Structure 1
Amino acid sequence: MTPNPSTPSSSSSSIQVRAHTSKHRALHATRALHAGHTIHIFTSPLLLLPTLAHLSSVCAHCLRPGTPRACSRCHAAYYCDAACQRAGWAAIHSRECKALRARRGRSGAELPTPVRALLQVLLLGGEVEEGLAMLDGHEEVRRGREGRAWGDLEMMAAAACAFAGKEGDGRRAVGLLCKIQTNAFLRFDAHLADQVGIFLDPTLAMANHSCVPNATVLFIGRTAVLRAERDIHEGEEIEVCYTDYTNPISQRKSVLQEYCFTCQCPRCANNLNIYQLCAQSPTGNGDMSCSILGSNTSSLQNHPGASDPQKIRVAAQFCTEIDPELTGSSPEAKRMLKIHLTGYKPLIENDLWAVSPLPQILTEVSLYYTHEQKFAYAVAVAVMVAVECDPYRYAAPFHAIRLKNLLMVIKLLVLTAEDSAALRQAPRAVAARGLEGEVLEILAEMDQVSLSQMLLIMVMKAASPSDGSLEQWSLGVQARELHEDIAGLEGREQELSLIHAWREDPESESSQRFFEYAVVKQMATLADLGKRVVRTEWQV
């Protein structure tokens, strides 16, 4: 077979595919890797295309979000600019454009994502089919399942064959579709916080699943970056998570059924809750000198949710799936959020803030306050999520969700700055505003600009490894742009001097004292206020 261009073949590669007794094949590290290290970059996927839900909101070639324009011929592919349109035409669209035009009253723009992916394989053939040939599709397992699953696969394969003009290739098409379903990664976009496409690379597909992974996959344009979540030993298997490992076990099992295996990781085998898993996780997951929890991270290993039998029972009982319809921006947001917060009151009463779906609900609460322009409440709840939820849910300080939520805190701090300035000028003006006034007073006493700048430096450092592999990652780009604006503010010479010294030598005693005061203490104060907002304003 013709090797895929991203298949590691040089002696300098950090990964190697090896045979595995129970998993068939597995990806292994050829050298020791530190947490945060870029393990490998995959630049030439066999398949890369947007999901149907995001067909018109991301570019069909680079998959960057925005307002792309539709192909004038088929209206089933969207591109952000002329360069991507030309590249997309050369890569696949010159073959699929005609096929995607309306057939028997159905437009190619309506095709489900698996059908569109299979259509591309059928049209490209050659090297793409050869790349898929080495992969497992678990066709026999899928065929033997009860229900409509196999029939649905046959229907999707038939649809792809019809659009490709290859109606006689149904059996081969089903086999190819099984391989796509088993091996394609859902391409998560940190900016949109959603799965916007699928990415299939034969070598990356060799990375097996664990709900306690030691690596993660980040996507930047047409590139996938495999990054170590914790220290990995030479020869150790590299495992990633095919779903959100903070979800309840029932939800994880349901998702993993699509890959035709049952996870046997320690978390699934013992049904560990988020605090129990965190207590067993290694503490050296990246630079802890800049942790928002400060130098004392013992709370991560000693939370009562990991050892108290009563709290363990509550966590097990109330860890459920989030309502996908819940949003803080809907007209019914306040009523729906009240219902959900009341339903999960036992988690709140037991300080089990990190147990799903409470963090997701709290994020929507912050969004609700943002839409209501109650920015003081919004930032307090957002900080509470960043301090009381994220460090327990995602061990690596550089995890995409943690960085995204820190960016949200920073943006909300900017929005509260005007109210804080007004309060400093006229403190009596908000004296009668109750808890909201108290939050505003505390914000006014803080150096919000320095807090924002230091949080941005943390995000930039976490999102931009020294090797430059994540230079174009959207979270890092956003952080750099925001930092440039803040760093240019005048009249902050003393603050900038302290921040510069901390940034250059975060391990020094003076830097750690400064960081504990300027970041850790302020974030802890806001997080406590966030708890009060939830308990008081929502009466839970």
Structure 2
Amino acid sequence: MPPHLPPGIRINHDHHPTHPGKRRSLVATQSFSPGSQIATFSNPLIALPDGASMRTTCNYCLRVGSQDTDSPNGGGGQQQQQQLRACTACKAAVYCNATCQRAHWRAVHKLECKMFTRVRENVGKDWLPTPVRAVAQVLILLKGGDAAVKEAFEAEDGLEANVEGFKAYEEVWKDFELQATAAVVYAGLLEGEEMLAKAREVLCKIQTNAFNRLDADTGMTGIFLDAGLAMVNHSCVPNAFVGFDKRTAVLRAERPIQEGEEITISYIDNMLPTSARHEALKLYHFQCDCPRCWDDLDVYEVCQTSPHIHLNSFSLQPDLSKLQDPPIDRSKVTRAEIEIIYKKWQALTPPQGDDEEELLEFARKRWELCRPLVEARMWAVEPVPTTINQLANRWQTSYKMFVYALPLLCFLSTECDPFKLVAPFKPWRIKGIVAIIKLLALTGEFTASGALATRCTHEGLVGTLATASQVSMCEALLRLAVHHGSIGAAEDWDVLKQAKSMLEDLESLEGREHESNLLRAWAKDPEDPEGAAFFENQVLRPINTLASFAPEILEEMLSRRSPVKQKQK
């Protein structure tokens, strides 16, 4: 029996004409416009937080919170986080309320509760690695006769396992054997070869079909497995994407989808060079032959063929001609050289500690590898964006460097993300905008007090922030975030809720009625003459100016010798 599917999609069981290895696919039964919701999946077979995160995440609804304690602050003082209380029996699983606890008890925890007592007795921990807990849950549910789990994991037309494919990777299979054995032991089942083989098969099915819920920006972790959603196939130029809202997965259209068209998503980071994408897909046991792989297209070439370019007229990159004809110089670096650059970049071993000089030296090595791409102005080609983003993320939380993170984030949002993620409603682009807003709010405080110049030696950066209307910039960016977030994300998405709340606060400020009215008019119609002119002069121009400082800041920070080496010399 096929898995139950929401309206709007069906499973196609015919062999795929251009992908012989695919025996099933998801097909649209109606048309979908970009950003529209195709289907939701709210009754997963498996929905777990990662390992130790099970102590800071509700084990049922997967809402991130803080574990309640006996201290007056009850959770370390984390703002606006739900307090979580542990199961009174095992003390391991935590919940945000009694409703979630009861629901999880009925679903699986009444069967796995004793397992954590065995875990504590054997290894002194109150959590299990995610794959081990996932396999143990499935084995326990199978033993209990759960119909949906039996259909997915034991029926002939259930989830694909690719056991022989995993066995071909010796180290991977060794890990699978250890994890499967641990799951059998902690589940309290007999350790015969038949049971161990069953556990290994279950693990293969989970690895092949589950989704990773990781989102470092919102603290979201864990895996999600729905038998229906697992039918969706991969493409490096997908027409859909999956977002997660606590215990629900939402499948959304990225491109226009017609009735009868196959729905595809990307299983991996599809912005990587071709060989890196194929390497990442190895454990899915197929060779991708999508248009991007077949013609070895880079992000700029994919962007030029995108049906979404026009949507950027309401974005931080409204110059559509730049997206259609990017100002890059392909003669500076070949495709083969890009592949080599990425492999060398990936092979560099990051420092283990938090020593700032070691981290900076590591960033310098990576930046030097990126130099041919920098000279070609191919800013959106990996590994350049990730190199910049990692540095910006670290600087955002640095007492000394947070000011310098702002130009980097502006640069990513204008010169990288629009080419990589052409649809402005993609969550990653929205999060980039919200990150800029937070830094503008922070630097605005120092600008108002005159303290910014003591923290930043870059005169252009200080001068731009001193003359810019940072409140208007924040309001315009919030309107972008709310507009596109309402298209491409769940209404309850933490980033979107935060943006809406900040926009309400700004709109309530007295004395800004004129500016707010202009921005409101621009948000309603980006071609409104007065609103568009205000956005161009008061928002886009300073954003682009800040972004223009990023290359020189990166060169200054990452091209000079480290202070340690200078002293040794």
Provide the TM-score with structure 1 as the length reference.
0.88
**2:567 matched to which residue of 1?**
none
Whether 1:258 and 2:283 are equivalent positions in the alignment is yes
Distance (whole Å) between structure 2 residues aligned to residue 522 and residue 20 of structure 1 = 54
Point out the more displaced range, 247-256 or 357-366.
Answer: 247-256
**2:71 matched to which residue of 1?**
none
Cα offset for 1:347? 2.5
Which amino acid in 2 is paired with 1:145? A
Superposition pairs for residues 89-488 of structure 1, below 5 Å? 89-103=105-119, 105-106=122-123, 109=126, 111-125=128-142, 126-127=146-147, 128-132=149-153, 133=155, 134-142=157-165, 145-167=168-190, 168=192, 169-189=195-215, 191-192=217-218, 196-284=221-309, 287-294=311-318, 296-305=319-328, 307-308=330-331, 310=333, 312=335, 314-320=337-343, 322=346, 325=350, 331=356, 332-370=358-396, 371-423=398-450, 430=453, 436-465=458-487, 470-488=490-508
Check whether the contact 2:25–2:262 (CA below 8 A) recurs between aligned residues: yes
Distance (whole Å) between structure 2 residues aligned to residue 312 and residue 147 of structure 1 = 31
Unaligned runs of 5+ in 1: none
**2:76 matched to which residue of 1?**
none
Distance (whole Å) between structure 1 residues aligned to residue 322 and residue 219 of structure 2 = 28
Q: Cα distance 1:239–1:434, how it changes in 2: closer, same or farther (>3 A)?
A: closer
**1:517 matched to which residue of 2?**
537
Which amino acid in 2 is paired with 1:162? V
Point out the more displaced range, 380-389 or 184-193.
Answer: 184-193
Q: Cα distance 1:343–1:111, how it changes in 2: closer, same or farther (>3 A)?
A: same
Q: Deviations over 1:366-386 (max 9, x none)?
A: 234330344432211111111
Cα offset for 1:304? 4.9
Q: Cα distance 1:483–1:143, how it changes in 2: closer, same or farther (>3 A)?
A: closer
Q: Cα distance 1:531–1:129, how it changes in 2: closer, same or farther (>3 A)?
A: same
**1:526 matched to which residue of 2?**
546
Distance (whole Å) between structure 1 residues aligned to residue 516 and residue 151 of structure 2 = 56
Unaligned runs of 5+ in 2: 68-84, 561-569
Superposition pairs for residues 70-89 of structure 1, below 5 Å? 70-89=86-105
Cα offset for 1:146? 4.8
Distance (whole Å) between structure 2 residues aligned to residue 392 and residue 94 of structure 1 = 49
Point out the more displaced range, 323-332 or 245-254.
Answer: 323-332
Of 5, 8, 21, 1:7 maps to: 5
Q: Deviations over 1:510-529 (max 9, x none)?
A: 44333333333232211102
| 3-state DSSP of counterpart to 1:226 | strand
Point out the more displaced range, 244-253 or 437-446.
Answer: 244-253
Distance (whole Å) between structure 2 residues aligned to residue 535 and residue 341 of structure 1 = 9
| 3-state DSSP of counterpart to 2:322 | helix
Distance (whole Å) between structure 2 residues aligned to residue 245 and residue 117 of structure 1 = 27
Identical residues among aligned pairs (%):
38
**1:67 matched to which residue of 2?**
66
Q: Cα distance 1:254–1:81, how it changes in 2: closer, same or farther (>3 A)?
A: farther
| 3-state DSSP of counterpart to 1:189 | coil
**2:48 matched to which residue of 1?**
49
Distance (whole Å) between structure 1 residues aligned to residue 42 and residue 88 of structure 2 = 29
| 3-state DSSP of counterpart to 1:27 | strand
| 3-state DSSP of counterpart to 2:55 | coil
| 3-state DSSP of counterpart to 2:407 | helix
Check whether the contact 2:13–2:23 (CA below 8 A) recurs between aligned residues: yes
Point out the more displaced range, 296-305 or 443-452.
Answer: 296-305
Of 12, 19, 25, 1:18 maps to: 12
Provide the TM-score with structure 2 as the length reference.
0.84
Superposition pairs for residues 27-42 of structure 1, below 5 Å? 27-42=26-41
Which amino acid in 1 is paired with 2:371? K
Point out the more displaced range, 491-500 or 314-323.
Answer: 314-323
**2:80 matched to which residue of 1?**
none
Cα offset for 1:306? 7.8
Check whether the contact 2:243–2:250 (CA below 8 A) recurs between aligned residues: yes
Cα offset for 1:45? 0.7
Check whether the contact 1:141–1:260 (CA below 8 A) recurs between aligned residues: no
Point out the more displaced range, 487-496 or 324-333.
Answer: 324-333
Cα offset for 1:46? 1.0
Distance (whole Å) between structure 2 residues aligned to residue 73 and residue 434 of structure 1 = 54
Distance (whole Å) between structure 2 residues aligned to residue 202 and residue 259 of structure 1 = 16
Q: Cα distance 1:483–1:336, how it changes in 2: closer, same or farther (>3 A)?
A: same
Check whether the contact 1:273–1:316 (CA below 8 A) recurs between aligned residues: no
Check whether the contact 1:464–1:471 (CA below 8 A) recurs between aligned residues: yes
Cα offset for 1:330? 5.1
Check whether the contact 1:143–1:150 (CA below 8 A) recurs between aligned residues: yes
Distance (whole Å) between structure 2 residues aligned to residue 309 and residue 345 of structure 1 = 10
Which amino acid in 2 is paired with 1:536? E
Q: CA RMSD in A?
A: 2.9
Check whether the contact 2:329–2:378 (CA below 8 A) recurs between aligned residues: no
Q: Deviations over 1:277-335 (max 9, x none)?
A: 223333357x33312111x3122232254854636555343234656847997534333
Point out the more displaced range, 258-267 or 380-389.
Answer: 258-267
Q: Deviations over 1:457-496 (max 9, x none)?
A: 1111111239xx7110112112112212222222111101
Check whether the contact 2:331–2:376 (CA below 8 A) recurs between aligned residues: no
| 3-state DSSP of counterpart to 1:67 | strand
| 3-state DSSP of counterpart to 1:17 | strand
Point out the more displaced range, 504-513 or 412-421.
Answer: 504-513
Point out the more displaced range, 455-464 or 129-138.
Answer: 129-138
Which amino acid in 1 is paired with 2:408? V
Of 492, 498, 510, 1:490 maps to: 510
Check whether the contact 2:332–2:372 (CA below 8 A) recurs between aligned residues: no
Distance (whole Å) between structure 2 residues aligned to residue 274 and residue 25 of structure 1 = 29
Distance (whole Å) between structure 1 residues aligned to residue 387 and residue 288 of structure 2 = 27
Check whether the contact 2:403–2:456 (CA below 8 A) recurs between aligned residues: no
Point out the more displaced range, 254-263 or 331-340.
Answer: 331-340
Check whether the contact 1:51–1:198 (CA below 8 A) recurs between aligned residues: yes
Q: Cα distance 1:297–1:319, how it changes in 2: closer, same or farther (>3 A)?
A: farther
Distance (whole Å) between structure 2 residues aligned to residue 143 and residue 247 of structure 1 = 23
Cα offset for 1:437? 2.6
Q: Cα distance 1:115–1:375, how it changes in 2: closer, same or farther (>3 A)?
A: closer
Q: Deviations over 1:250-271 (max 9, x none)?
A: 4322332222212111222333
Number of matched residues?
Answer: 524
